[in-house]
Amino acid sequence: MAGMMMKALCVMVAFMVLSAPYTEALTCGQVIGNLAPCLGYLRSGGAVPGACCSGVKRLNAAAKSTPDRKTACGCLKNAYSANRGLNSANVAGLPGKCGVRIPYKISPNTDCSKVQ
């Protein structure tokens, strides 16, 4: 009887683990993909495209955990460094222009290890 209870308990635990919602970690591909519509604005300024702000908001919503925010920070920092033609004021001001607050400044000098 105890053996049968243990088997039933193991099956229940396995079912709970398998049916738990799976969350995927944020990737640099997602970060860059969401911000691709922003590239023109980040270089030249002007009006922020609606698709850009939609991407900024999606990225902000996806970066819920500290590890995701650190990943996003690192990806943004690397992308900023790789794209020499970006206007630093446009880059730093983009989240605010889209109505989003992030806990760090987007800059090649940001220490992403300190992002919470």
For the chain, 116 residues long, give each residue's pLDDT as a single digit of tens.
554 434 433 333 334 333 334 456 899 999 999 999 999 999 999 999 999 999 999 999 999 899 999 999 999 999 988 888 999 999 999 999 999 999 888 888 899 999 99
Domain boundaries in the chain?
27-109
Per-residue burial over 70-84, b if 16 or more Cβ lie within 10 Å, else e, is: bbbbbbbbebbeeee
CATH architecture of 27-109: Orthogonal Bundle (1.10)
State pTM to two decimals. 0.75
pLDDT of residue 107: 87
pLDDT of residue 23: 52
pLDDT of residue 24: 65
pLDDT of residue 103: 86
Distance set, CA 112 to CA 38, 47, 65, 92 (Å)? 22, 29, 14, 15
